[in-house]
């Protein structure tokens, strides 16, 4: 199946309001899913997404005596996309290492399919470590930052 055939299938899905299509022929398998886009506002759509939070473990120390990730809540990416620390390239980051955050504060943005998804904090605490560089791709469930709950 060539790219033009795939494009035609995508257009057919959109016109028929089909949300998922699977096609199999020989050793080739194609699966298409259509998601409803959020309404566009300004330069891009903005959607609030709740991050996946890993529960805290017992405090442990590494061989160097430094605290380990088990001491903190780990904010993970709820979607595949691109990680951004600030709302715009020239803007200040939402949070930096050492900042105290409150529940509901925007921590970062993960852009997926031109939709800017704000990742908010689920609790009050201190940002201990930001694990991803700005404008880097992230996977679903990938740790983004460590936060020490207060």
Same domain for 24 and 68, yes or no, is: no
Same domain for 22 and 91, yes or no, is: no
Same domain for 59 and 17, yes or no, is: no
Same domain for 90 and 119, yes or no, is: yes
**Residue 4: predicted pLDDT:** 75
Same domain for 49 and 121, yes or no, is: yes
Q: How many domains does the chain have?
A: 2
Same domain for 55 and 18, yes or no, is: no
Same domain for 22 and 54, yes or no, is: no
- pLDDT tens readout for residues 21-75: 777 777 777 777 765 544 444 445 555 554 544 444 444 444 455 555 567 888 9
Domain assignment present for residue 40? The answer is no
118-140 mean pLDDT: 93
Domain assignment present for residue 106? The answer is yes
**In 1-150, beta strands by DSSP E:** 20-25, 28-33, 45-49, 52-54, 73-76, 81-84, 100-101, 106-112, 115-120, 125-130, 136-138, 143-149
Same domain for 51 and 28, yes or no, is: no
Same domain for 29 and 59, yes or no, is: no
Q: pLDDT category, 84, cuts 50, 70, 90?
A: very high
Whether the model pTM is above 0.75:
no
- 23 lies in which domain range? 3-33
Give the mean pLDDT of the chain.
77
From 8-17, 78-87, 124-133, the region with the lowest mean pLDDT: 8-17
81-90 mean pLDDT: 93
Domain assignment present for residue 119? The answer is yes
Same domain for 29 and 50, yes or no, is: no
- Asked if residues 29 and 21 have their Cβ atoms less than 8 Å apart, the reply is no
DSSP designation for 92: P
**Residue 54: predicted pLDDT:** 44
57 compared with 111, residue with greater pLDDT: 111
């Amino acid at each position: 199946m060539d790219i033009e055939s795939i494009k035609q299938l995508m257009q057919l899905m959109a016109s028929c309001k089909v949300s998922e299509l699977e096609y199999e022929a020989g050793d080739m398998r194609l699966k298409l899913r259509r998601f409803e886009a959020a309404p566009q506002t300004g330069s891009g759509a903005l959607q609030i997404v709740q991050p996946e939070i890993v529960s805290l473990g017992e405090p442990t120390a590494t061989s160097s005596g430094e605290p380990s990730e088990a001491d903190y809540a780990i904010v993970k990416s709820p979607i595949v996309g691109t990680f951004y620390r600030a709302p715009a390239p020239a803007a200040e980051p939402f949070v930096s290492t050492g900042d105290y955050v409150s529940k509901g504060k925007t921590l970062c943005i993960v852009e997926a399919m031109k939709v800017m998804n704000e990742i908010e904090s689920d609790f009050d605490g201190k940002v201990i470590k930001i694990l991803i560089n700005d404008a880097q791709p992230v996977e679903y469930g990938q740790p983004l930052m460590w936060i020490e709950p207060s």
